[in-house]
Amino acid sequence: AQTVTQSQPEMSVQEAETVTLSCTYDTSENNYYLFWYKQPPSRQMILVIRQEAYKQQNATENRFSVNFQKAAKSFSLKISDSQLGDTAMYFCAFEEFRTSGSRLTFGEGTQLTVNP
Amino acid sequence: KAGVTQTPRYLIKTRGQQVTLSCSPISGHRSVSWYQQTPGQGLQFLFEYFSETQRNKGNFPGRFSGRQFSNSRSEMNVSTLELGDSALYLCASSFFTAGSSYNEQFFGPGTRLTVL
């Protein structure tokens, strides 16, 4: 079974600064997807960024980028130029490569607070 | 396009009762997944439905069941409620493409269930 671990329950950063959230995972699969989801106080889960395991290039979405280290099974999220609206719970998630359905495995979450 | 909707948003029940939660996916989406979110266990996958058939199932007791209708709307039922069933229940829908290994999941706002 796959497991996802986020070792930082809480983090804080000053507005406009950069912060990195850590995530490690364990799997015997070779093909899979990794995700970072954001859950603001509204509880609406929002996809931030996605990484395919077969791609060596790290994914980037505007101010959000990842550092994917497949051999180390590490998948960190870097948020640049942090904004107050980035305050949320961030979940790292894993999904194995499959053509018959979806099933996400989530980490425990990291509560990020952006301070003015 | 309207997002995933879940009803009701809040629900209070007592131990031993049963409850039914509803999820309406994004128009055109045929896959619906359910997740339970609790402070202690985090986010856990319950089950996924596609074309009125359960395609994937998590590790939950038989008290948790679901179904999907021909219009892709899904319901989740929990019988004989226990205090530990208090949670935020999230529904996610995706547009399944045959042969594709990845289909982005879009989450609803959740139903907050409190069991007294």
What secondary structure does DSSP assign to A37-61, as a single string?
EEE-TT---EEEEEEETT--SPPEE
Which chain B residues touch A102 with a CB distance below 8 Å? 31, 33, 48, 56, 92, 94, 103, 105
pLDDT value for A100: 67
- Of the candidates B6, B55, B43, B61, which has an alpha carbon nearest to the alpha carbon of residue A102? B55
* pLDDT per position as a tens digit, A3-26: 999 999 999 999 999 999 999 999
Structure tokens at B23: 């999820």
Q: Give the up-direction half-sphere exposure of residue A83: CA atoms within 13 A in the CB hemisphere.
A: 5
What Cα–Cα distance (Å) separates residue B79 from each residue in A28, A74, B19, B66, B110?
Answer: 35, 39, 7, 11, 19
Which chain B residues touch A95 with a CB distance below 8 Å? 102
Residues B66 and B70: their CA atoms lie apart, in Å, by 14
As a whole number, the mean pLDDT across chain B is 93
Residues B53 and B72: their CA atoms lie apart, in Å, by 10
Q: Looking at residues B99-104, what average pLDDT do you find? A: 70
* pLDDT per position as a tens digit, A20-74: 999 999 998 888 999 999 999 988 999 999 999 988 899 999 999 999 999 999 9
Q: Looking at residues B69-94, what average pLDDT do you find? A: 97
Residue B104 has pLDDT above 90, yes or no: no
